[in-house]
A and B are shown apart, each in its own frame.
Chain A
């Protein structure tokens, strides 16, 4: 059996795949969030940014392929680990009190599932335009798409809830991925995760800023 397959067969190997693909995801969401904030700079700024991205041609295709493969690997490994972890305790406790685990860590599976639904709907919404909650879509006018969609309360609500899920996912994930990869130095308080808190909070705030600003009329 090849080395890669043997590696992946173990739970640690799967966690390494989750950590690497998760870190790719974190890098992506930070970049994406920063780009979105151009909406505050007006229609020309974000539309020309979108134009610039599309003009990179092959590079954009490669980036998209990397992201899609990363999401697929991340989800497959998550599913396999979840099955293995559930099977490891066929009979649960009558009385079990979590002591120190965070809510974020205990919602990685359901929160992750919500993120998967979000990713699919979000692509259909803003990338392909198959979903038109506002009835209009134009590939050339990202700004217009944003304004039209985020005037609708339930679209804003769906994005807000999904971004809360993302924030929690990253609060645990940004911390655990580094540990899964064995990159962490010994720490007097290993459960401390300040950097992860900052990553989660910044990504969350940056992503919700645009829909909220549009909804309350600050933008558009």
Chain B
């Protein structure tokens, strides 16, 4: 394949960036999007140019490191697919592909396509855990979990924290991320003791990080590589209303 890329280049957090055009001939349709960028980077380095910086780690769709706004869609055109799992055959030969970093006040650009997503970590730190005495593992069936609850919790727990929901949301809201983290514990018996405190602290942290609010556009659900449902957001709101009414004085 022969592609043309327009890639956001920005030397540092404080530098001004711009879209730079690159010619990318001889790209195999079987490459992943990140492998394609690797090839482009090798060619850049051979010429003595700076390679394009982008985030990646597992390259198998489970770590949440990869990102990229590709042709105006978070993680590109394939549904339920992270950028590392996106193949070049999803594009047309000769196509011009725009590649931009996630954009949000809470996600400042560090360099080129790499943004700082630690705001999501701080939301988890605010309450995305359960407090339990550790020790020897207890019997797996000591706490009964209804199948429906286990399934719902697993669906929410599929969130890999990539931030595509924020990137895709016109309000740059982290509601889908926060809601899935709240749901995956809130569906389980182990998550109940801290359920109300959890929603209040995590929502509070989400707002401190200056994410936007939810208008229910639905873009986040479409962008999510793990297909997390906006139903979780409705659930978060329900928890928040109940907790706000009972726990605040």
Contacts and interface: CB of A to CB of B under 8 A. Distances in A.
Interface in B187-237: 203-204, 207, 210-219, 221-223, 229-231, 233-237
Given A89-B104, A89-B212, A186-B231, A16 B172 contact: no
Interface size class of B (residues with CB under 8 A): 35 or more
B105 interface: yes
Contacts of A180: 214, 216, 234, 237
Interface stretch (A32-40, A95-103, A140-148): A95-103
Contacts of A97: 71-73
B203 A179 contact: no
A13 B230 contact: no
A102 B172 CA distance: 17
A43 B171 CA distance: 49
Given A15-B213, A105-B216, A176-B216, A91 B72 contact: no
Nearest to B152: A186
Contacts of A120: none
Contacts of A16: 237, 241
Interface in A85-129: 85-102, 105-106, 108
Contacts, number: 151
Interface string A128-167: 0000000000000000000000000000000000000000
B234 A179 contact: yes
A13 B105 contact: no
A100 B171 contact: no
B100 interface: yes
A6 B248 contact: yes
A98 B215 contact: no
A55 interface: no
B98 interface: yes
Contacts of B217: 98, 100-102, 105-106
Contacts of A181: 237-238, 241
Contacts of A169: none
Contact of B215 (A7, A85, A94, A190): A85
A7 B248 contact: yes
A186 B8 CA distance: 39
A91 B88 CA distance: 28
Given A179-B230, A181-B241, A100 B222 contact: yes
Interface of A: 3, 6-7, 10-16, 81, 84-102, 105-106, 108, 172, 175-176, 179-184, 186-187, 190-191
Interface of B: 6, 8, 19, 69, 71-73, 98, 100, 103-106, 152, 168, 170-173, 203-204, 207, 210-219, 221-223, 229-231, 233-241, 244-245, 248-249
